[in-house]
Structure 1
């Protein structure tokens, strides 16, 4: 994980609350967050960036936190950059740093070093919920989706954040892949909402999406994909076959119906249209969803609507929980996506100040 020079422009008061586990010259520093595991005494440690100390002892401001924004990095595992960008947006929004907790989880991946005793994933395995690699930390085999579960449940503990009202999960690119699959598969959304928390997901520019049935975009509508072109096109992380252990036994249409009840906003840059982008997923399973991120996003949004018309249970569910937005004039750029007119409002609320020059957002009705 490399430090972002951009962060050095942030207020010194923000720097002061970080647990220094790297040299001061490598700011921002990550915190070693301890996550409990039900039924286990030990738990495990995981690296995150945050604008408050998370041990609840050295920084008394956790008592004033009303909202948490979990912002997930992309495949470069550069949580520092995502954290720095989110903090700059928070400061510009006019929201109080005492009320908003920004957390950027940073999934260690080979060949990263300096994470002794922590779970480590393959370089891109964490994006889909794969288990941590054997022999890495006390929680080898731990799904990256379970890590987000554990962070969310820790934050929902009223003894730690007694004023918490809202949790936002946001991810761009590889992080968008993780947050999209988390929005579909996670085990805690309903429990969090039952505690009175507002839970929302913001998914921006992922390379691929999780389909609930074997159908894929076709010249007219949706149809079964040609297995001679891609025999495993419906395997997870693109479809319901051969699911990761975290999601074993889940049924596609049941997941779809549950997903509709969760608050999800999909964003795509109108210029994220390069079919040869250097970090675009070019596997045949992803190619079955469309040639570019923009195409794949619009196809998936249409697919959600298409599937709703085929599913009696879904017809009775509210359609207003899901929103689809084009961010105009933006390509594959997390800072401009989250810094857009809609991105700032989604992260920091309707009362947040937005730069007049920020990218406009166009609602899409699939």
Structure 2
């Protein structure tokens, strides 16, 4: 055990006080709060920078487009020693700086060799961010990026899901990162919504894994999930499934909750074909046992989301039952799921939990005695 892992419980406590005090409600909720002070545009971040600064990267084919990310290494520098990439996705507030700071503190606490781990926090510019220095870049509607819609402003009207494709292409490029063997894409709350939908809809997963690179997704406390068929949890206990009452919600099966009116990125996709492919992808679900408030201020309360259950915890349990319902006896699933005991809608405590830190940073539970305990889902 390294000295930093020996001090891990105190490190996580210090991290919570340090990183979350600056972000306040923004990082805890991952969805709302006072916008952070914008960083200086185009100033590259260094591993010892006092405050995270975003970097401008050029993505895509042809003319391509520029996009802002936070990272613990210069992305135009020598990345030949990087063996693992961890991508942490912000929530509705589009505060990549806070999520990067939180991830960096957990990475430090894990005792991992930071010279070998590339920590990346993409920052999707929204239309309210026109004065934050993201010039000449795509901008999305406030929630459009979260579900994979195309940008509404800027030089490239690109889907936010295509941006994730392009980021993975860059970070699995052997010419830039010849030693990369593992990529983890993690999101909490609003960030978990896009990570979950990306894990379902992308067409690059199998190609990346065929090249010997492990690709994993971590989905923590999203407000909703993407269903593959028109049924939803039914009955007083939510343990059976039936089509939802269209009189209560005519559009309950529209994307981003179901398969109707799919975003252009995935237009024409078949629900069950997507499910069978998704079952073979490496996904870890995390649900806080205290994320159970049906009136939580940033919970999605649209009828499409309410059709999945009244709280995030119940929606998570319903979706896990649904996956089993679809799988039947023969389909092999590569998904894992944990409930984080005593934790609510709190990004830092979810990813700092014993199962969260293991899923995101590969931290052994034995080295994380101070993290929240985890248990099997109560289904």
Q: Give the TM-score taking structure 1 as reference length.
A: 0.88
Alignment partners' CA distance in 2, 1:130 and 1:111: 17
Aligned partners of 1:306 and 1:84: how far apart in 2? 39
Q: Deviations over 1:155-181 (max 9, x none)?
A: 111000000000000000000000000
Output one character per residue of 1:244-303: Cα deviation in whole Å (capped at 9) or x when no partner: 000101000000000001000100100001111111001000000000000000000000
Matched, 1:161 2:177: yes
What is residue 20 of structure 1 aligned with on the other side?
A: 43
2:229 equivalent to 1:213: yes
* d(CA) in 2 for partners of 1:326, 1:105: 27
* Structure 2 residue matching 1:64: 3-state secondary structure: coil
Cα distance in structure 2, aligned partners of 1:102 and 1:27: 15
Kindly indicate whether residue 105 of structure 2 is the aligned counterpart of residue 88 of structure 1. Answer: yes
Distance in 2 (CA, whole Å) between partners of 1:167 and 1:330 is 26
**Distance between the aligned counterparts of 1:359 and 1:352, measured in 2?**
10
Looking at structure 1, the residues matched to 299 and 89 of structure 2 have their Cα atoms a distance apart, in angstroms, of 17
Match of 2:208 in 1: 192
Tell me how far apart the structure 1 counterparts of residues 322 and 269 of structure 2 sit (CA, whole Å): 20
Please show how residues 343-358 of structure 1 align to structure 2 within 5 Å: 343-351=356-364, 354-358=367-371
TM-superposed CA distance for 1:117, in Å, is 0.7
Which structure exhibits the higher relative contact order, with contacts defined as CA atoms closer than 8 Å and separated by 6 or more residues? 2
Distance 1:93 1:154 in 2: 25
**Counterpart Cα distance in 1 of 2:99 and 2:147:** 19
Residue of structure 1 equivalent to 2:67: 46
Q: What is the 5 A alignment of 1:129-278? A: 129-133=148-152, 136-140=153-157, 142-219=158-235, 220-278=239-297
TM superposition shift of 1:363: 1.9
Stretch of structure 1 that moved more, 342-351 or 246-255: 342-351
Q: Which residue of structure 2 lines up, in the alignment, with residue 330 of structure 1? A: 343
Contact map agreement 2:355 2:365 (CA 8 A) in 1: no
Q: Is residue 2:57 matched to residue 1:30?
A: no
Gaps of 5+ in 1: 10-17, 310-314
**How far apart, in 2, do the equivalents of 1:164 and 1:327 lie?**
30
TM-score, with length taken from structure 2: 0.85
Cα shift at 1:5: 6.8
Confirm or deny: 8 A CA contact 1:33 1:48 kept in the other structure: yes
1:237 deviation in Å? 0.2
Structure 2 residues not aligned, in runs of 5+: 1-16, 23-40
Tell me how far 1:43 sits from its aligned partner.
1.1
SS at match of 1:153: helix
CA deviation vs aligned residue, 1:320-346 (integer Å, no higher than 9, x gap): x10110000100000000000011111
List per-residue Cα deviations over 1:21-60 (Å, max 9, x = no partner).
69x99931101111132xx1x211101000001113xxx3
The 3-state SS of whatever aligns with 2:285 is strand
C-alpha distance in structure 2 between counterparts of 1:332 and 1:259, whole Å: 26
Question: Which of 309, 319, 323 is matched with 1:304 structurally?
Answer: 323
What's 2:9 paired with?
Answer: none
CA distance in 1, matches of 2:244, 2:364: 45
Secondary structure in structure 1 of the residue aligned to 2:127: coil
State the Cα distance separating 1:348 from its structure 2 match: 1.6
Q: Match of 1:223, SS?
A: strand
In the alignment of these two chains, the number of paired residues is 338
